[in-house]
């Protein structure tokens, strides 16, 4: 079964809108684990507009499932990773001021930089995944960085799914084949939802993990958090 990692950034966004500790990010993460999710994902940014660095430290103390930290590899983010040592670090190419991740790495242009970062993280026992588009060349060249996995950026799949799901998924099928061929583990995330997740999981060979935040937390407003987590798990069965 493909593992479900729940991104809890949006829970922190609601908390930060009013200050204080409601909703409690740590409590929410523990409940998500209890409801059956296989992991927790966070994407802290330097401006602290959702998950804060202090949240990451607090979460590490209590989580029992896999902890995945996403972020752009600037020095303060790397220092946080070296302090917390999550199970997985997902490196994204977006600079700190963007609203949300909107592109994958150019693993050719950034190969030397990524190789250095990946080596440093892996030396401390962390698995490293690179956020990439559904681009066979970029996936094949990701091997040179020494990363363990790639995370497919699925925004284009999600946006095209309703119009033509076969066309939407076609480049991701080829991307998955490339990852499997070169020996990279395969994750995916961005705009996956109850509408499009099952079809994606059924057609992507070797899909190890999906990271889902915005859609899942939004669905929880209607279905409740426990029911929503279970609905997403059902899509992956």
Reported as type and span, the H/E element at residue 107 is none
Could you tell me if 131 and 91 are in contact, meaning their C-beta atoms sit under 8 angstroms apart?
yes
Could you tell me if 178 and 219 are in contact, meaning their C-beta atoms sit under 8 angstroms apart?
no
- Concatenated DSSP letters of 2-19: -EEEEE-HHHHHHHHHH-
Annotated catalytic residue within 33, 50, 66, 70: 70
| DSSP-derived pairing of the beta strands 39-42 and 3-7 | parallel
* Helix 75-84 and helix 111-123, axial crossing angle in degrees, nearest 10: 20
List the pLDDT tens digit at each of the 237 positions of the chain. 899 999 999 999 999 999 899 999 999 999 999 999 999 999 999 888 899 999 999 999 999 999 999 999 999 999 999 999 999 999 999 766 655 556 899 999 999 999 999 999 999 999 999 999 999 999 999 999 999 999 999 999 999 999 999 999 999 999 999 999 999 999 999 999 999 999 999 999 999 999 999 999 999 999 999 999 999 999 999
Question: At CB < 8 A and 24+ separation, what contacts does 223-228 make?
Answer: 225/28, 225/31, 225/32, 225/35, 226/31, 226/35
State what percent of residues in the chain have pLDDT above 70.
97
190 is catalytic: yes
Query: CA 142 to CA 120: how far, in whole Å?
Result: 16
What pLDDT does 169 receive?
Answer: 98
70 is catalytic: yes
Annotated catalytic residue within 50, 66, 151, 190: 190
Question: At CB < 8 A and 24+ separation, what contacts does 106-110 make?
Answer: 106/138, 107/132, 107/138, 107/139, 107/141, 107/142, 107/144, 107/145, 108/137, 108/138, 108/141
Tokens 């190969």 sit on residue? 111
199-221 pLDDT, tens digit per residue, is: 999 999 999 999 999 999 999 99
pTM listed for this prediction: 0.94
61-105 pLDDT, tens digit per residue, is: 999 999 999 999 999 999 999 999 999 999 999 766 655 556 899
What is the maximum alpha-carbon separation in the chain? Answer: 48
Annotated catalytic residue within 43, 66, 151, 209: 43
87 is catalytic: no
Sketch out the chain's domains with CATH numbers: 3-233 (3.20.20.70)
């Amino acid at each position: 079964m493909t593992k479900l990692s729940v991104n809890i950034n949006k829970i922190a966004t609601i908390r930060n809108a009013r200050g204080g500790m409601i909703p409690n990010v740590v409590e929410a993460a523990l409940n998500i684990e209890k409801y059956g999710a296989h992991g927790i994902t966070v994407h802290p940014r330097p401006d602290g507009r959702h998950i804060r660095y202090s949240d990451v430290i607090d979460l590490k103390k209590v989580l029992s499932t896999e902890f995945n930290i996403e972020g752009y590899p600037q020095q303060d983010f790397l220092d946080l990773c070296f302090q917390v040592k999550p199970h997985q670090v997902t490196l994204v190419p977006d600079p700190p001021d963007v609203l949300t991740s909107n592109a994958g790495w150019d693993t050719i242009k950034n190969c030397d930089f990524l190789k250095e970062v990946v080596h440093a993280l892996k030396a401390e026992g962390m698995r490293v995944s690179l956020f990439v588009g559904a681009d066979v060349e970029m996936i094949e060249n990701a091997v040179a960085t020494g990363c363990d996995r790639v995370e497919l950026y699925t925004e284009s799949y999600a946006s095209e799914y309703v119009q033509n799901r076969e066309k939407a998924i076609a480049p991701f099928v080829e991307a998955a084949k490339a990852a499997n061929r070169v020996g990279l583990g395969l994750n995916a995330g961005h705009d996956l939802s109850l509408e499009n997740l099952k079809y994606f999981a059924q057609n992507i060979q070797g899909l190890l993990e999906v990271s889902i935040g915005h859609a899942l937390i939004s669905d929880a407003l209607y279905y409740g958090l426990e029911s929503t987590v279970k609905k997403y798990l059902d899509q992956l069965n």
